[in-house]
Chains A and B, each alone.
Chain A
């Protein structure tokens, strides 16, 4: 028991880090769901490709595992690169695979999204191979900052970085959605896509913007996870996608703050599961939470339930 209590604060920090990443992924699901009421199966793959983009930036700008440019600038470039590639990829996917199906039955849209996911995953498998790409981050962190110790709790620099970046991005997004003209258009489109169109909102552009933002955040999450766990492979998108979706559903899909809350809660729940059970079944915990939420409160923690109109 002492062992567990000693571990607890540490695991809470780990949970917070993981939760921030899940929240970033969940936002992408939730924003798309809010507007198109579709589950973007390909989002996990977009996240994975974001991670790979970050790895390429790191790979191109370092020699023998030491960065060629300023370390802080390199980290920023990595995150920006991941966001840019993922954002554009999300827009492209929407354009090619979802837009032609907007009026089609939902099952068709879902299957198309599933197809995109399989395609992207195997595209990366073919061109990157199945092997794990390592992020050599040791050179990015000044030795004095490698480990930050507060009481019994150890913060690695990367954990702090991930938490800070996650929360900054989320705060930025919340500001954009709440206070800008585009944000207002987004909220209107999510409320009623046709009514928004009649009021002069260019719905296609808003949807493109939503995919751009959601996918870019997913890409950022991919790079951050790469920095944190120092590796990426073609298969990570699948798990991460499921986790992100779980987080979005937990918080109430379609609800931005719900996605953030759901992500953090899921991260904490997993960290606690690792503490109290075992790491082997960590993923089972997420899925059990998902199934339980869907059965008990399908609208999620912050979601509203709308009765079906007959």
Chain B
């Protein structure tokens, strides 16, 4: 695909997206006229409002997994801001084209500020703080009519200026129906674009495993704030539209039950699933209209829906339906339909060099193969006097260690010797108590995990920390996060730069997964990681680390839990990483066979201290090392 063709790819017919968009436009053009009466026209508009609200909540709770119970307050902030800016309340009469963005932006700022609390809190704590915020907001709405009348108390604010957009006066319910659904369509498109962008993947990674996401170069603080702000922006804009549509705002419009309704929509559709959430919003707005006489049981049934869904179908009613699932290729079947074994695939694919398996994206595969190993050993990572205490326990004490470019240095030692602590210090998960870490002469002591990843140090985890519900390909794409640049605006507008970056990310991720022969390619791309074998998960984790273009790879027990055949394979593979791709590797490994066959040097830790360093043959004869592993001979 050439660059020239891709820039004109916005409107290609026969693309399912384009057809879908045209169909949606057609339905939206006709639908308001099909409503039997003005009551149903109103319901139709309210569906649009709820679709937007649910999609905004889906950004915070669905994509990023943050249980934000102040969401309805953002809806209210948008509504009230609009009310104050275009009514007689303070005699400010901004035009709609200014008042709506102003309301949305004010709300976004509030979302950003509330998001600041989420930096230190997660899960239940975040839920309760946001719930408290929502309560404070409601108290303020009810009580800020004295001494100065701001919110109008229980009576709210009503009678807004008639709105005009591009010279069209929006007065009749029919106008509003078009306006609201046009906005809803924009929100749907924006949500879909974000979901399939680096931001969407970053949020999903954050939801799955915050620590691993940070270690892959994602600034988790920023991403959380972005989720809060994004959700609030949508809620605020929707609030303004709703206020204008209703021509009034009351505290009750923005109360807790409203929040529950929106949550039910999102969960019914499936957290994070955009078509599902839209269907959830449509369903839960229409259904109560048919069940009017059971109105008293409405909220009760919402409670039951939540509990039942969580127990029976936590992925939502509309997720993972067989006919909605993308049909996956099964390249591991030969022409007769017989399954090929994965070993056949591996050795079959190994005939062709991995660069070629990247195929028609020479640039992406080309960046993979970095400079050939440098002959002159250059120090790349230098640890000086590194110490870490946990309370009274010194996990690592005064460690000096230098890693030279292009070498494989193994760290061994008995359990509890401080090996994983060393990795955690280098990758920024804990700050060291004392000492310094220098990467290429730059001091990275105390840097955050995402900064360390960006500086070019990637790691794997001893106990595997993959994003289990994401696909293999997406796991690896997350690794590209720190090497891509697209901001919210370019994602929103789907600018050419963003499109090119997405293509490159995909090509790169596929090329990296191709290194493992046929083991992680083809139908594996779209499989969730949780469906993989243990060995394949270890491989995926290495692939994810590789995709962040690291200069140094920290591998924490890559051969743990592998059978002898797999161990031989992974050992050869690690050597390939150095020999062919020029990575410098720091390795923790308990299997001494692996250590012996690939290490240039070995460092031995015991009780947090380095007791030996040198070539494998030297250290295995070192009496201190023998004592640490086998104990002292009885004298």
Interface residues of A (CB under 8 A from B): 33, 38-39, 96-97, 100-101, 104-112, 114-123, 125-126, 238, 242, 245-246, 249, 280-281, 283-284, 287, 290-291, 294-295, 298, 307-308, 310
Q: List 27 A-B contacts (CB under 8 A).
A: A39-B124, A39-B127, A97-B311, A101-B310, A107-B65, A107-B123, A108-B310, A111-B306, A114-B260, A115-B307, A118-B302, A118-B306, A119-B303, A122-B303, A125-B296, A242-B132, A245-B128, A280-B139, A281-B143, A284-B136, A290-B129, A290-B132, A294-B129, A298-B120, A307-B390, A308-B211, A310-B424
- Decide: B306 and A294 in contact? CB cutoff 8 A: no
**Assuming the A-B contacts A111-B263, A238-B256, A291-B129, are A101 and B311 also in contact, with contact meaning beta carbons closer than 8 angstroms in the complex?**
yes
B253-277 near A? 1/0 per residue, CB < 8 Å = 0001100100100010001000000
- Decide: B211 and A310 in contact? CB cutoff 8 A: yes
Given contacts A106-B123, A119-B300, 15 further A-B contacts (CB under 8 A): A96-B307, A107-B67, A108-B314, A115-B305, A115-B306, A118-B306, A119-B303, A119-B304, A122-B297, A238-B256, A242-B131, A283-B135, A284-B139, A287-B135, A295-B121
B260 closest partner in A (C-beta): A118
Is B378 at the interface (CB under 8 A from chain A)?
no
For A111, list chain B residues within 8 Å (CB).
Answer: 67, 263, 267, 306, 310
Q: Tell me, rounded to whole Å, the shortest Cβ–Cβ distance linking A130 to chain B.
A: 11
For A287, list chain B residues within 8 Å (CB).
Answer: 132-133, 135-136
For B123, list chain A residues within 8 Å (CB).
Answer: 39, 106-107, 110
User: Measured between alpha carbons, how far is A275 from B61 in the docked complex, in Å?
Assistant: 40
User: Measured between alpha carbons, how far is A38 from B127 in the docked complex, in Å?
Assistant: 11
A307 closest partner in B (C-beta): B390
For B299, list chain A residues within 8 Å (CB).
Answer: 118, 121-122, 125
User: Measured between alpha carbons, how far is A308 from B123 in the docked complex, in Å?
Assistant: 15
**Assuming the A-B contacts A118-B302, A119-B304, A310-B461, are A294 and B296 also in contact, with contact meaning beta carbons closer than 8 angstroms in the complex?**
no
A100 closest partner in B (C-beta): B311
User: Measured between alpha carbons, how far is A13 from B481 in the docked complex, in Å?
Assistant: 58
User: Measured between alpha carbons, how far is A245 from B131 in the docked complex, in Å?
Assistant: 11
B426-464 near A? 1/0 per residue, CB < 8 Å = 000110000000000000000000000000000001100
User: Measured between alpha carbons, how far is A261 from B390 in the docked complex, in Å?
Assistant: 28
User: Measured between alpha carbons, how far is A104 from B469 in the docked complex, in Å?
Assistant: 13
- Decide: A115 and B117 in contact? CB cutoff 8 A: no
- Decide: A117 and B303 in contact? CB cutoff 8 A: yes
Interface residues of B in 476-494 (CB under 8 A from A): none
- Decide: B132 and A115 in contact? CB cutoff 8 A: no
- Decide: B117 and A295 in contact? CB cutoff 8 A: yes
- Decide: B306 and A114 in contact? CB cutoff 8 A: yes
Is B347 at the interface (CB under 8 A from chain A)?
no
Q: Tell me, rounded to whole Å, the shortest Cβ–Cβ distance linking A67 to chain B.
A: 34
**Assuming the A-B contacts A39-B127, A119-B300, A242-B135, are A295 and B314 also in contact, with contact meaning beta carbons closer than 8 angstroms in the complex?**
no
B308 closest partner in A (C-beta): A115
B121-152 near A? 1/0 per residue, CB < 8 Å = 10111011101110110010001000000000
User: Measured between alpha carbons, how far is A242 from B127 in the docked complex, in Å?
Assistant: 11
User: Measured between alpha carbons, how far is A281 from B135 in the docked complex, in Å?
Assistant: 11
For B297, list chain A residues within 8 Å (CB).
Answer: 122, 126
For B139, list chain A residues within 8 Å (CB).
Answer: 280-281, 283-284
For B260, list chain A residues within 8 Å (CB).
Answer: 114, 118
For B300, list chain A residues within 8 Å (CB).
Answer: 118-119, 122-123, 126
User: Measured between alpha carbons, how far is A55 from B260 in the docked complex, in Å?
Assistant: 29
B204-234 near A? 1/0 per residue, CB < 8 Å = 0000000100000000000000000000000
B108-125 near A? 1/0 per residue, CB < 8 Å = 000000000100110111
Is B420 at the interface (CB under 8 A from chain A)?
yes
B265-292 near A? 1/0 per residue, CB < 8 Å = 0010001000000000000000000000
User: Measured between alpha carbons, how far is A303 from B302 in the docked complex, in Å?
Assistant: 36
For B132, list chain A residues within 8 Å (CB).
Answer: 242, 246, 287, 290-291
**Shortest 5 CB-CB distances between A and B: which pairs?**
A115-B306, A119-B303, A118-B303, A39-B124, A287-B132
